Amino acid sequence: MRVLHPALLASLAALLVPPSASAQWSGTPWSGVRYLQRTDPGPVRVRAMEVDLCAAGMTIRATRPAEANRTVSSWGSAVEVQAAVNANMWHCGDLCGVGIGNGESFASADDGHWGYLSFSLDGVDYPWDYDTIPAGAGIEQAVGGHPRIVNAGAAIPDFAGNCLERHPRTAAGFSADRQTLILAVVDGRSGSSVGMTCAQLASLMVGLGAHDAINLDGGGSSTMWLSDRGVVNVPSDGSQRVVRNHLGIRSHGEGAPRHCVAHRPLGPGEAVLRPLGESVSGAWGFSLLDLRLWEESALDGYERGPAMEAPRLIRAAGEPAIYLVDGGFKRHVPNPRALRGFHLHTKPVEELSAAEVAAFPEGPPLTQFPTIAVSPAPEHAAFLVDYPLPEPMEPIADGGPATRDGGSTMTPDAATAAVDAGAARDASSADGDSDDADGISGGCAAAPAGGALVWPWLLWLFVRRRSR
């Protein structure tokens, strides 16, 4: 009878025995981020994060070359992210594989076998076995590693060299729909946590929901830091190691997500550009995080629509569905994500009778998040990329039913609860968000027909933030 080597038996046991009872995902103070800490058989300490890339205001940040050579906590604090891990290996020289932070690339070594995770405006990618480092191509942030450990939902079984040994490890991957980023750090080189092989790390990432995943730098570099808790793992050097580059997460909690695969601007054939004036932008609560600088050629493909109005929300008494009154039409707010996406979660909701709500003609639903296109200098005109409204009908007096005497106005919390309770239908249709604390009951602050100028301080902040 053939006897298996003890080390192999231990590896199999670590994969087959279920994790401890403390393997529950927990919430964090940041919207769209969940955290996991547990100890698996081995023993092996695991720290992981699940990041909803389509959560309102979610942004990913990687290290710029000028920010290199810092501990994970030092870098995370300096660039004001809420969570961070170490990223690329760097025994190759400046960096092994692709490293891009805010569009600035490291002079990375490329020997054809480094893969990477990239984050572009409104999307992510997972290129592998490439021939040349991409020269920009719209990539804002990227980190690389080796080897690939999960491919198309399956753990890769065969590895060599260092991968066959148990060490501290850091890994990153995407869910199948590319809407979730999964990060994991495994401690090692101690009696309380012996580390993992690459095969074990692959099984861990599959168990955490990764469809594709890559091994990042490990050993003494493996570090996970959360801004509210500090370093949450135990680096094997006894303290944090200075590393070349990092990957960070910033959840703003409202506004458009930066790298959501599902968040694509509506095309010229299905949308119009609606001028957005300064006062109306303020009423909605739009900020620099909602802006997208567009080329003039991209703007030229769209027809112009009516100027946006200050937001007004209504619902029928006793009904969960919430509507935005826009140009005399009612537009369904499809779900809580849209409410936060357009910063509408702080707005009061007028409670009308069912007949009064029915009197408004139906318009297109609100999109999930706002896409605000800003034209090039010197105009810097701002437009909401939006579904066209139907042809105008007979106007309702005063732009629609007003709040009746004795009627009630919902609080923001009640509005969110109402949407959550039953207005999740039409969720696939859309985009929306607002963070102004003052209630807006109606009115129209029209922008000039050619588009409204974005106030100078907002553009200055936008450029300043892009450089951070």
- What is the mean pLDDT of the segment spanning 415-419? 40
Overall size of the chain counted in residues: 468
Upper half-sphere CA count for residue 30 (Cβ side, 13 Å)? 24
Residue 144 contacts residue 171 (beta carbons within 8 Å): no
Q: How confident is the model at residue 56 (pLDDT cuts 50, 70, 90)?
A: very high
The residue to which tokens 């709040």 are assigned: 403
Residue 311 and residue 305: Cα distance in Å, rounded? 17
Give dist(CA 324, CA 295) in Å, integer: 30
Model confidence at 1, pLDDT cuts 50, 70, 90, reads very low
CA distance 288 to 213: 32
CB 62 within 8 A of CB 141: yes
What are the distances in angstroms from CA 244 to CA 12, 143, 186, 311?
A: 34, 11, 19, 46
Contact of 57 with 230, CB cutoff 8 Å: no
For 345, the 3-state DSSP assignment is helix
Q: What is the DSSP string of 263-316?
A: --PPPTTT-EEEE--HHHHHHHT--GGGEEE--HHHHHTSEE-PPP----EEEE
Mind listing the pLDDT tens digit for each residue in 178-217?
999 999 999 999 999 999 999 999 999 999 999 999 999 9
- The answer to whether the beta carbons of residues 212 and 221 sit under 8 Å apart is no
Reported confidence tier of residue 110, pLDDT bands at 50, 70, 90:
low
Question: Rounded to whole angstroms, how far apart are CA atoms 20 and 348?
Answer: 45
pLDDT tens-digit series, residues 384-415: 999 999 986 554 444 444 433 333 333 444 44
